[in-house]
């Protein structure tokens, strides 16, 4: 039989934790075996306790290793960002382009197409966050580039969706009409509501038209109040809406996360995103976005006026926040970094689970959720490193 037999750690398969041993052959999961199993020819790799889990799935990655996707939307940049996030355990990512020019957006689509054709590890598609957002909820997005969706934009996006495994777009429903949302959804695009000041009714109508996701719940959106529930209320009330959350303890208070988890109705689920920027897996202290300086200090990334600009976060850190500060059970937290985002993005046939026949993209975590080791297709990923230069 041969292969490598991972023993000594609990196995999280994407749904539950279980004792056992994991057999990997030729870069794929061959079997989950009972504890003590010893298949012929397998080489045992004994782990010192902890948890063996699927590689993390991160649907919002703006940069890493000192670079932003916006700065150079090319295959080389994608390779660098994906390699950086692999060292953080995120073995499947959606690189994210923050609101930019039409020229840069076209280049981003072309870069992802090229990367997917070339089989660049970890690149599962593209997330376009803007430019069809609300000026009132722009956050760190450049207001000069925000605009309503036009017919040419719709045609471009629907065409792009046919040329890559997954396209996710973040839009504000006040900048994109219901017919456009329906067309985008019918083209296979994951339509996500975000950076919006729209009222509850408008957001519910967008969900009825085909929107299925909400970008970084609570942040850059109309809030839940007693007379107007806003996009936050719609995200928690509409059964078909899932939502990413930035669990760094800064973007959203742990108590607000507990309330969201308790309030969420129906099959739509909450999951973790890093919203990582250039500093991920690097030591840089600042970078630029659309010509504006962003500084890194005390776990925050901010514009000069203090506006949060993405997050200085990885998903292992987010798991620790969810379990320690929010009080989420371990298996539920792990699913929020693996199987749930994989399902939301339609990537669950290739990522987010440990099961026979699946690719052996694995992370080993200590019992307190610190990364110990990472394997892509059964091969070890180089140890975590930080790059000093921009």
pLDDT per residue as tens digits for the range 325-353? 999 999 999 999 999 999 999 999 999 99
8 Å CB contact between 21 and 54: no
Task: Classify burial at 147, counting beta carbons within 10 Å of its beta carbon; exposed 0-12, middle 13-18, buried 19 or more.
Answer: middle
Average pLDDT over residues 52-80: 97
Please tell me which residue in 275, 312, 314, 361 is annotated as part of the active site.
Answer: 275
Residue 116, both tokens: 């997917």
Determine what percent of the chain is predicted with pLDDT higher than 70. 98
Residue 267, both tokens: 């099959």
pLDDT band at 27 (very low <50, low <70, confident <90, very high): very high
Residue 209, both tokens: 């038209």
Residues 388, 129, 197, 338, CA torsion sign: negative
**13 catalytic residue (yes or no):** no
Q: Which domains does the chain have, with CATH numbers?
A: 4-53+353-380 (2.30.40.10), 54-344 (3.20.20.140)
Average pLDDT over residues 359-384: 92
DSSP bridge pairs for 6? 22, 45
pTM assigned to the model: 0.96
pLDDT value at residue 384: 56
CA distance linking residue 176 with residue 141, whole number of Å? 17
Neighbours of 164 (CB within 10 A): 18
Task: Classify burial at 118, counting beta carbons within 10 Å of its beta carbon; exposed 0-12, middle 13-18, buried 19 or more.
Answer: exposed
8 Å CB contact between 197 and 175: no
pLDDT per residue as tens digits for the range 257-295? 999 999 997 777 999 999 999 999 999 999 998 888 999
Residue 136 DSSP label: G
């Amino acid at each position: 039989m041969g292969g490598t037999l991972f023993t000594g750690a609990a196995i999280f398969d994407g749904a539950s934790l279980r004792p056992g041993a994991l057999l990997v052959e030729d870069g794929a999961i061959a079997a989950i075996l009972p504890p003590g199993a010893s298949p012929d020819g397998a080489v045992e790799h004994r782990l010192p306790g902890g948890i063996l889990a699927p590689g993390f799935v991160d649907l919002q990655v703006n940069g890493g290793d000192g670079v932003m996707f916006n700065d150079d939307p090319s295959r080389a940049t994608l390779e660098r960002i994906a390699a950086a996030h692999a060292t953080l355990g995120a073995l499947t990512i959606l690189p994210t382009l923050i609101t930019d020019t039409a020229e840069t957006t076209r280049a981003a689509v072309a870069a992802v197409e090229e990367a997917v054709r070339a089989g660049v590890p970890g690149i599962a598609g593209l997330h376009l966050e803007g430019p069809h957002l609300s000026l009132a909820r722009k956050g760190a997005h450049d207001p000069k580039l925000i605009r309503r969706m036009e017919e040419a934009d719709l045609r471009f996006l629907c065409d792009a969706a046919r040329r890559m495994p997954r396209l996710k777009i973040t839009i504000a429903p006040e900048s994109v009409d219901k017919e456009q949302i329906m067309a985008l959804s019918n083209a296979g695009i994951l339509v996500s509501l975000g950076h919006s000041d729209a009222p509850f009714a408008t957001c519910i109508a967008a969900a009825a038209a085909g929107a299925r996701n909400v970008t970084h719940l609570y942040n850059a959106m109309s809030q839940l109040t007693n007379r107007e529930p806003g996009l936050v209320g719609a995200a928690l009330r509409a059964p078909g809406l899932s939502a990413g959350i930035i669990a760094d303890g800064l973007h959203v208070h742990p108590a607000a996360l507990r309330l969201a988890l308790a309030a969420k109705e129906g099959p739509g689920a909450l999951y973790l995103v890093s919203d990582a920027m250039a500093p991920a897996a690097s030591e840089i202290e600042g970078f630029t976005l659309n010509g504006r300086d962003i500084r890194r200090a005390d776990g925050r990334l901010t514009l000069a006026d203090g506006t949060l600009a993405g997050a200085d976060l990885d998903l292992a850190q987010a798991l620790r926040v969810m379990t320690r500060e929010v009080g989420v059970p371990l298996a539920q937290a792990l699913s929020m970094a693996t199987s749930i985002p994989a399902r939301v993005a339609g990537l669950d046939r290739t990522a987010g689970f440990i099961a026979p026949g699946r690719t052996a993209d694995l992370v080993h975590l200590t019992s307190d959720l610190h990364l110990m080791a990472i394997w892509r297709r059964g091969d070890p990923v180089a140890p975590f490193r930080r790059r000093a230069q921009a």
